[in-house]
A and B are shown apart, each in its own frame.
Chain A
Amino acid sequence: MASFSKMIPQQALVIRDGEKKELPADQLVVGDVVEIKGGDKIPADIRLIFAQGCKVDNSSLTGESEPQSRSCDFTHENPLETRNIAFYSTTCVEGTATGIVINTGDRTIIGRIASLTSGVGNEKTPIAIEIEHFVYLVAGVAVSIGVLFFIISVSMRYKILDSIIFLIGIIVANVPEGLLATVTVSLSLTAKRMAKKNCLVKNLEAVETLGSTSIICSDKTGTLTQNRMTVAHLWFDNQIYSADTSEDQTTQPFDQSSPSWTALSKIVTLCNRAEFRPGQENLPIMKRVVVGDASETALLKFAEVILGDVMNIRAQKKKVAEIPFNSTNKFQLSIHETDDPNDKRFLLVMKGAPERILERCSTIMINGKEEPLDSEKAEAFQTAYMELGGMGERVLGFCHLYLPENEFPDTYLFDTDSMNFPTSNLCFVGLLSMIDPPRSTVPDAVSKCRSAGIKVIMVTGDHPITAKAIAKSVGIISATSETVEDIAKRLNIPVEQVNRREATAAVVNGMELKDMSSQQLDEILCNHSEIVFARTSPQQKLIIVEGCQRQGAVVAVTGDGVNDSPALKKADIGIAMGIAGSDAAKNAADMVLLDDNFASIVTGVEEGRLIFDNLKKTIAYTLTKNIAELCPFLIYIITSIPLPIGTITILFIDLGTDIIPSVALAYEKAESDIMNRRPRNKRKDRLVNEQLAVYSYLQIGIMQSVGAFVTYFTVYAEQGFLPSTLLGVRVNWENNAINDFEDSYGQEWTKYQRTYLQWTGYTAFFVSITIQQVADLIIRKTRRNSIFQQGLFRNKVVWVGIFSQIGIALILTYGLGHVTALNFTPLRFQYWFVAVPFAILIWVYDEVRKLFIRRYPGSWWDKNMYY
């Protein structure tokens, strides 16, 4: 809320009791008459009763970038559109006005947005839900096994106290102690990785949310486009040429040999008031800062790229008169001397709205020759104009006239007020059209989203035609798909008769959206795969987001304005623009794109999916050894053998050897199919699903237990206790008073000697689990691909994990083997290798599993074995 508070204007000029007073804005009441002038912030929502040349900058509220003029006239039903209301927190750019306060504080439009933003609750992220689900699952398994064995042990006549200790032991063995650390570490790692790619993640869990995103509602300006007008097409000599619109153009490839182009380039260069800021000669042209409006900047840079030093050319052809662009004339005109010393004629150049320019022309230049402008040529112009306009581009017409030397000698004084020079019967030269072109990375990013099953919806305040053109050029509307209107046009039937189901694409106007019920909106969102919302008021963004969420989608929203903040907050993941974004938007968002680049979102999606996958792998890894920790306990209770592994030892696995490897899985690279599968269905595709639990618990876990038990029995057998002797010995074994316990060979053991042997057993069991966890770690690197496809050594951290695992085990066994309290003993070296065949078996078995999954997709094996 701090960013909202900062917007509060300090003072307001109020007329009360017939006197003008300066009051703090928060003391205004409804009905106060306030005066504002250029530069003031509007102190409340006011209705204007007097305005003189007043313009307000509503960009923070509505996203409209150009200042809006304000008058006392009621022009629209919608308060946001009518001219006679100025809004709290916007700025008066020029002029003066007087108005009556109609709303203050929270009741103002911006206040409502603010309270909407704070009102939209922070809901649980998908990953939080998944982890909660996982916790329930593990708790369920732990408690039910615990209770089951409590009942078994009670019925086997163990003491109640012992049974309770067993119960606690079983639950402890089941708790994945290291998981919390792993989740946090993987999230932070990814956040760090994303920060490198210019995505700032504010809310760690949001990273994963992005991965499960199924709909992206993207803003157009600045996110999909470069936010910079660029010349896209030219029309001269009856032909349309395309220009390069990429971010770093250095040349223009179209045919520049025609004399008409020479003429056109002169007009483009001369009839232009924009200038480069000085001192930028070393910068690439596209990066230079220009003083001037967007179109003129585009023309200036265009000319600079093709012709070189424009400022020099202008200096050579001295300007003698100029009429700047205004909205009544809709043209701009200037008169120049020529740089040819033999040619004393003046050159009049003009540019403006194409139809206005054409009206003033009587001839048209074709291949450098002036030809009369007959109806055929006028029609060619119309066709070209329509075509360029249809591509959503802003079109400008250019014409010129060499003033006859006899009428206009070089001493002639031009007067722009009386216009003592011809402004009609000019020679039409050509058209230039400009657009804010898409970023070059966007089409690729959009197609990546497509193949990843993510629907990209464009939501823009722009004109439908421009929006559609950009949507088509970036692939949001694919080349083959049609809207209802397109089909109607093609079949030449009224729009109403078109079967709406046939159209895959839809362009929805904000005005239509306003009259739609939520069912109608749902219908559009369901039936069309490619949707563009144009002319949307920012408030409608929220409606669209809610509509998408009603479909069960996980929605990502990009936005920059204050007005977007409710939608950003409402979205499952709000993404604010780092450069163009307002503070309020950044506050409401979960993620900030520092370079405003849509392609970063795709990276984010990939990272998010990767996190989910890697968490799955980590959990699978962690769960596996729980069985190897639990089984000894169960066997101990049932068959009364000496306890194979102690609680302290279990903790050393969970919090010692296993921590670094499970974190290492967070560094695992994505599997090849990560961006080719559909987003996960948050209701069905759980983090920990049945297959994962079953495969880890009942297959790999059991294999590990078998391997560890072989080691355990080997240790006891080689010390004199054959497996047959061990069964049922628990009570005597643990009896402190029995100090002549006989082994299979007739030797007698004291209690302490037995206990020490039992610790050796713990150590052996521990070492076996560790060795097999190495295999478990390796197999968990992939879920579908072979380890050899993934690269055994690509993830170096996994190897750090493996070495740390073995290192910690070595330290515990040999370094701390003499510390009685830890229950470790120095182990004979060969016992480290007893479980190795089982580790290899685990690896081979998992490779076979993955092979069948890849070979037979959709088969019984795939359904039951793929987690």
Chain B
Amino acid sequence: MSKETKKPFRQSMTEWRQFIYNPNSGEFLGRTAKSWGLILLFYLVFYGFLAALFTFTMWVMLQTLSNDIPKYRDRISSPGLMISPKPDTALEFYFNKSDAQSYAEYVATLRKFLESYDDSKQSQNINCTPGRIFDQNDVAVKKACRFNLSELGQCSGKEDKTFGYSKGTPCVLVKVNRIIGLKPEGEPRIHCTPKEAGMVEINYFPPEGLIDLMYFPYYGKSLHAHYLQPLVAVQLAINSNSTKEEIAIECKILGSPNLKNEDDRDKFLGRIAFKVQMIE
């Protein structure tokens, strides 16, 4: 049985020094230069082989994939909702209608967001038949449907450059997440409800918050390059007696049986909640 005698500090230091570099045997960290060379060469070859193998298998795997649509789409069977502008802090809008600076960021975001909907960008897009799914399965070149900004009415930013923020009627754009091949049934529309009634009046553009079926289905980034997803603008006319109060609003997608909006775990699946607080 080994007698555990504590080595004096100096001795163990010497041993360490010997281990790091041993001048007698020329060993550095317990190996000679030749031994280090061999072992490093071995690992170079070994890891080189593994890296090549990894690259090869990844390449083979990628070859099995299509460029146009992902192999599986079961993880996103139903779209989520998202709004624009999206405040940094947890979907809460704070602004002062008389202070342009307080909402400048929202306005800038909206403007930027709507850039791609500008008529000049939609020159290649065609006018589709409203109210019908625009099926292009048999067509090689998928066309994108035109989405006229005018449909957003007062929220199009054309008449009111501040999207209503200066008037106390802020606009929020609600969009449905793009999902390849999604064909909504029925008459999908966005409907928003404030938590407490009477604080806000809600206007929808297009009217009733309707989402036209002609914008579906989506064929993916590469096939459907100019695709524009339909938008619904929600204009909140905040009552003058409700200023300074935080107004909670929940928007849901309704009217379509195959678009979920009541998922327990996913709070953004077919719905979105945000808060608005305006001061004068």
Name the interface residues of A705-749: CB closer than 8 Å to any CB of B.
706, 709-710, 713-714, 717-720, 722-723, 736-737, 739-740, 742-749
| The residue from B61, B75, B80 contacting A739, defined by CB atoms under 8 A apart | B80
CA distance A753 to B53 in the complex (A): 31
Asked whether A740 lies within 8 Å of B47 as measured between CB atoms, the reply is no
> Using a CB-CB cutoff of 8 Å, which residues 45-67 of chain B contact chain A?
46-47, 50, 53-54, 57-58, 61-62, 65
Instruction: Answer whether residue A271 sits at the interface, using C-beta atoms and an 8 A cutoff.
Output: no
A227 at the interface (CB under 8 A from B): no
B229: nearest chain-A partner, CB-CB:
A748
Per the bound structure, the CA–CA distance linking A746 and B222 in Å amounts to 8
Q: Does A750 contact B (CB under 8 A)?
A: yes
Contact (Cβ within 8 A) B72 A748: no
**Considering the complex, which residues of chain B in the window 72-91 have a beta carbon less than 8 Å from any beta carbon of chain A?**
72-73, 75-76, 79-82, 86, 88, 90-91
In the complex, the chain A residue whose C-beta lies closest to that of B70 is A720
Q: Which of B4, B90, B221, B265 contacts A752 (CB 8 A)?
A: B265
Q: Is A319 an interface residue (CB 8 A)?
A: no
Nearest B residue to A742 via CB reads B178
Q: Taking the nearest CB of chain B, how far is it from the CB of A842, in angstroms?
A: 11
Expressed in whole angstroms, the minimum distance between the Cβ of A549 and any Cβ of chain B is 7
Q: Is there contact, CB below 8 Å, between B221 and A745?
A: yes
Interface stretch of the complex, out of A469-477, A502-510, A664-672, A696-704: A696-704
Task: Decide yes or no whether A129 CB sits under 8 A from chain B.
Answer: yes
Please, which residues of chain B bring their CB within 8 A of the CB of A718? Answer: 65, 70-72
B266 at the interface (CB under 8 A from A): yes
Name the one of B39, B75, B80 contacting A748, with C-beta atoms under 8 angstroms.
Answer: B80
Chain B residues within 8 Å of A841, by CB: 53
A748 touches B62 (CB 8 A): no
Residues in B whose Cβ lies below 8 Å from that of A682: 2
Determine the chain A residues whose CB is within 8 A of the CB of B72 once the complex forms. 718-719, 828
Residue of B nearest to A121 (CB): B1
User: How many angstroms between the C-alpha atoms of A718 and B63 in the bound complex?
Assistant: 11
For B17, list chain A residues within 8 Å (CB).
none
CB pair B50–A703 under 8 Å, yes or no, is yes
With beta carbons under 8 angstroms apart, the residue of B47, B69, B71, B75 that contacts A760 is: B75
Known: A740-B177, A752-B267. A746 touches B82 (CB 8 A): no
Rounded to whole angstroms, the CA-CA distance of A864 and B38 in the bound complex is: 10
Which of A710, A750, A828 lies in contact with B80, CB distance below 8 A? Answer: A750
Q: Are B1 and A706 in contact (CB under 8 A)?
A: no
When the two chains form their complex, are residues A706 and B82 in contact, meaning their CB atoms are under 8 A apart? no
| Any A CB within 8 A of the CB of B179 | yes
A720 touching B269, Cβ below 8 Å: no
Cross-chain contact A737 with B91 (CB below 8 angstroms)? yes
Is B218 among interface residues, defined by CB-CB distance under 8 A?
yes
Shortest Cβ distance from residue B151 to the other chain A in the assembled complex, whole angstroms = 21
Interface core residue of A129, A745, A864 (most chain B CB under 10 Å) = A745
Q: Check A720–B73 contact: CB distance below 8 A.
A: yes
Evaluate whether A717 and B178 lie within 8 angstroms (CB atoms) in the complex, with A572-B1, A748-B82, A752-B269 already known: no
Q: By the criterion CB–CB under 8 Å, are B76 and A747 in contact? A: yes
A750→B76 CA distance, assembly (Å)? 9
With A746-B220, A752-B265, A752-B268 as known contacts, state yes or no: A710 contacts B54, CB within 8 Å: yes
Does A123 reach chain B (CB closer than 8 Å)? yes
Q: A737-B90, A752-B265 are in contact. Are A746 and B73 (CB under 8 A)?
A: no
- B175 beta carbon closer than 8 Å to chain A: yes
Between A549, A739, A752, the greatest number of chain B beta carbons within 10 A of the residue's beta carbon is seen for A739
Residues from chain A with a CB closer than 8 A to the CB of B221 are 744-746
| Given A698-B43, A746-B218, A747-B76, A710-B62 contact (CB < 8 Å) | no
- Find out whether the CB atom of B82 lies under 8 angstroms from the CB atom of A747: no
Nearest chain A residue, comparing its CB with the CB of B39: A864
CB of B180, distance to nearest CB on chain A (Å):
6
Complex Cα distance, B69 from A718, in Å, reads 9
Contact present for A129 and B2 (CB under 8 Å): yes
Nearest-neighbour CB distance to chain B for A804, whole angstroms, equals 29
- B68 CB to closest chain A CB, in angstroms? 8
Scan B160-192; emit 1 where CB is below 8 A from any A CB, else 0: 000000000000000101111000000000000
Contacts of B4 in A (CB 8 A): 124
Find chain B residues with CB under 8 A from A710 CB: 54, 57-58, 61
Assuming the contacts A745-B180, A820-B265, asked whether A714 and B50 have C-beta atoms less than 8 A apart, the reply is no
Asked if A756 contacts B80 (CB within 8 A), the reply is: no
A753 to chain B, nearest CB (A): 5
Contact of A683 among B2, B70, B220, B265 (CB under 8 A): B2
Q: Which residues of A are found within 8 Å of B224, using beta-carbon distances?
A: 746
A749, B220: Cβ atoms closer than 8 Å: no
Binary contact readout B1-21 vs A (1 if CB under 8 angstroms, 0 otherwise): 110100000000000000000
CA gap between A739 and B65 in the complex, in Å: 25
Residue contact B50 to A706, C-beta cutoff 8 Å:
yes
Residues B62 and A747 in contact, CB atoms below 8 Å apart: no
Q: A702–B1 contact, CB under 8 A? A: no
A745: which B residues are within 8 A, CB to CB? 68-70, 180, 220-222
Q: Is A740 within 8 A of B80, CB to CB?
A: yes
Alpha-carbon distance A820/B76, docked complex (angstroms): 17
CB-based contact B179/A713 at 8 Å = no
What is the CA–CA distance of A746 and B53 in the complex, to the nearest angstrom?
30
- Return B81 CB to nearest CB of chain A, in Å: 8
Q: Given A706-B50, A718-B72, answer yes or no on A750-B268 (Cβ-Cβ < 8 Å).
A: yes
A759-779: CB near B (< 8 Å → 1, else 0) gives 010000000000000000000
A463 at the B interface (CB under 8 A): no
Assembly CA distance A749 to B175 (angstroms): 13
Q: Which chain B residues border A554 with CB–CB below 8 Å? A: 1
Residues of A within 8 A of B58 (CB): 710, 713, 723
A719 is contacted by which of B1, B47, B70, B82 (Cβ under 8 Å)? B70
B interface footprint on A668-703 (CB within 8 Å = 1, 0 otherwise): 000000000000001100000000000000110011
**What residues on B are CB-neighbors of A788 within 8 Å?**
none
Taking a contact as CB atoms under 8 Å apart, the answer to whether B79 and A717 are in contact is no
Return chain B residues, CB-CB under 8 Å to A752: 263, 265-269
Known A-B contacts A682-B2, A752-B266, A864-B39; the reply to A740 vs B175 at CB < 8 A is yes
A753-B266 in contact (CB<8A): yes
Decide: A709 and B268 in contact? CB cutoff 8 A.
no
Of chain A, the residue at the smallest CB distance from B74 is: A719
**Residues of chain A contacted by B267 (CB below 8 angstroms):** 752
Interface contact A750-B266, CB-CB below 8 Å: yes
> A719-B70, A745-B220, A864-B39 known; A709 and B80 CB under 8 Å?
no
What's the Cα separation between A572 and B1 when bound, in Å?
Answer: 6
The chain A residue with its CB closest to the CB of B3 is: A123
Out of B86, B180, B269, which one reaches A737, CB within 8 Å? B86
Q: Which among B43, B79, B80, B90 has the greatest number of chain A C-beta atoms within 10 A?
A: B80
Report the minimal beta-carbon distance from B270 to chain A, rounded to whole angstroms. Answer: 10
Which chain B positions have C-beta within 8 A of A683? 2
A751 at the interface (CB under 8 A from B): yes
Bound-state CA distance A123–B1 (Å) is: 7
CB distance from B9 to the nearest CB of A (A): 18
Q: Contacts A739-B268, A746-B218 known; A717 to B62 CB distance under 8 Å?
A: yes
Contact A746–B268 (Cβ < 8 Å): no
CB neighbours of B61 from chain A (8 A): 710, 713-714, 717
A757 sits at the interface (CB 8 A)? yes
A860 is an interface residue with CB less than 8 A from chain B: yes
Given the complex of chains A and B, what is the CA–CA distance between A841 and B49 in angstroms? Answer: 12
Can you give 29 contacting A-B residue pairs, CB < 8 Å? A124-B4, A129-B2, A699-B46, A702-B47, A702-B50, A706-B53, A717-B71, A719-B71, A719-B72, A719-B75, A723-B58, A723-B62, A737-B86, A739-B81, A740-B175, A745-B222, A747-B70, A747-B179, A747-B218, A750-B268, A751-B268, A752-B265, A752-B268, A753-B269, A756-B75, A757-B75, A837-B57, A864-B39, A864-B42
Task: Pick the 7 closest A-B CB pairs, nearest first.
Answer: A746-B221, A750-B80, A748-B177, A720-B70, A752-B266, A123-B1, A718-B71
Q: With A710-B54, A739-B82, A744-B70 given, can you name 9 additional A-B contacts, CB distance below 8 Å?
A: A549-B1, A710-B57, A719-B75, A723-B62, A745-B220, A750-B177, A750-B268, A753-B269, A860-B38
